[in-house]
Amino acid sequence: MRSAPGLTGPTWIMARRQTAGRGRRGRAWADPPGNFAATLLLHPQGGPAEAARYSFVAALAVHDAVRALCGPHPILALKWPNDVLLNGGKLSGILLEGVGSGSSIQALAIGIGINLLTVPDTLSVEPDALHPVSLQGETGLTVTPDEMLPALATAFADWQARMKDGGFDPIRRAWLARAARLGDTITARTGATRTTGRFEGIDDSGALILTGPRGRQVIPAADIFFTGA
């Protein structure tokens, strides 16, 4: 963010070693050596609602970058709102942070972590959360951060161009085609509030749609837990 005023275009910043990483809601993000940690800095058009859509662009980019480097065999899926899964475990997390005033976003940082080589200590994983997995541990394939960065940047630029040309709808449809547990019963937790229902999809803003005992509910932000996972 300190670099943002001097940058005129999209800029990727990759960390060789990250010692104070953080995830959503200020949680610690462990980053063992050999894994991927990078941030894309953008100057987006629009406000927070438009900026939030980049979470889906980033997830699609991670999905496609892994496929480009590893082929079609890894079983990948996207977990709302910002995780990429491999064989049912958490491979990657995405965090968006913006700065601006009023309804305008002047700079948007899209942080992406990918467990390429190892997984963090499972003691740091929140209870009921999906277990972390690594690309090498699940597939036997070794991908370095230097190999991941250009593949990810290329995939992100492609999906960003699709959103620029077609709006959020093509991103939404592509994300849903890769969504984990679509049609299953899941639980959304926001603070002390838990909502369980059938995962019907996401709306035009990217909010989660659940259908449960209280009918159809639209949830803009929450942590998701899979029933019976």
Domain locations along the chain: 4-177, 185-226
Q: What is the mean pLDDT of residues 137-141?
A: 96
Which pLDDT tens digit goes with each residue over 154-199? 999 999 999 999 999 999 999 999 999 999 999 999 989 999 999 9
Which pLDDT tens digit goes with each residue over 27-85? 666 677 899 999 999 999 889 999 999 999 999 999 999 999 999 888 999 999 999 99
Rounded-to-integer distance, Cα 20 and Cα 40, Å: 17
Residue in the block written with tokens 């541990």: 137
SS3 content of the chain, % helix, strand, coil (to 5): 30, 35, 35
The full length of the chain comes to 229
Does domain 4-177 correspond to CATH entry 1.10.730.10?
no
Q: Would you identify the CATH topology of the domain 185-226? A: SH3 type barrels. (2.30.30)
Sign of CA dihedral 94, 95, 99, 103: positive
pTM, entire model: 0.92
